[in-house]
Every structure is written in structure tokens, then in C-alpha cells.
Amino acid sequence: MRARLLPMLAGGLLVLAGVAGLVRGSGSPAAASGAAVAAAPIVVTNAYVRPPVPPTDVAAAYFTVYNTADRDDRLIGVATGAGATSVLHTAGMTAAANGAVIPAHGSLVLSTGHGHVMIEQLFGKLRPGQTVNLDLTFENAGSIPVTAQVIEPDAPAPTGSSAPSTGVTK
């Protein structure tokens, strides 16, 4: 009996840890508890993707990155399985060759006219309601997976609690 109890107890602890990770990754830092914010150096919220509007075949991903750490961090790469390439662009459609700095206790907001991740050479059609996985790589925080919902091309950008998805933190 005791030999079976240990694996069951270990499995239960893994489930609890997984649930705690999901809760920690949801919402904005303002909505998270102080302990959760302190445990997560980078929090990503309001992630969404606008599908291509013909004649273009390029999608754009948007999100907000909060840096809860005491030192600056830099978003140095974004990968996705939705397309062959993904490039971080800052305001003015300029590719951010060296990434984008997120100041200590500050944020980076990628929004229409203020930067995005351009997803090129799509592997299929993106339809509203689908999700796109993004893997954000930070200089200090490492890799953080984010799920972004595809919204209508002309839909208003989701914000706050109405956002269709939030990032998962490390």
C-alpha cells in the first residue's frame, strides 16, 4: 500500500504545481498577487494576432510585456509555428535587430502603430478564434511561451480582462 501511495502523492503535487503555474501566468501584474509577480520576472498579457488582409500574406502579433525585475531585460527573439519567419518590429515598421528593451519595473507594449511581431510565410490560413503559439526569448528571463488568439482584422484590440489570452510566465 505504501509503495502505491508515494507515486500518487508525487503525481498530486505535480498537478498542483501545474495549476499554480497557470494561475500565476494569467492576468496582468496588477491583478496578480504580490508573491506571483515577485516570482515571475516577465509577465506577458493581451496577446493576439491579426490575420493577413489580402493582398498581403503577413500576420501581425501584438502583446504587452511587463518586467517585474529590478534590472532591464531585452526581448531578443520571437519564434512561432504559424509561419516560416517571425520578426520583431518597433514603431515605424523597423526591424529591431538588437531586440527591444523592457526597463526594470516597466513595460513594452506592441500595438498597432507601435510595434508588432511580423509572421511571414504562413503555413496555413489563420482564422479568428484560432490560437497561435509564440515563444518569446529574453536576454535574462530566457524563453517564455505565449498563446495568442487570432482576432478579426478590424476588431478592436483586446485589453485587460477582455483579452482573449494571456502569456504564460516562466
For residues 47 and 134, the answer to whether their CB atoms sit within 8 Å is yes
- Its sign, for the CA torsion 9, 10, 15, 17, is positive
Specify whether the CB–CB gap between 138 and 75 falls below 8 A: yes
pLDDT of residue 160: 63
Taking 50 as the pLDDT cut, the residues of the chain under it are: 1-38, 161-170
Mean pLDDT, the chain, whole residue set: 77
Alpha-carbon Rg for the chain in angstroms: 18
SS3 1: coil
pTM of the model: 0.72
Percent of the chain residues topping a pLDDT of 70: 69
Nearest-angstrom CA–CA distance, 24 and 32: 7
pLDDT at 74: 96
Give the position of cell 510585456: 65
Angle at 91 between CA 89 and CA 97, to 5 degrees: 35
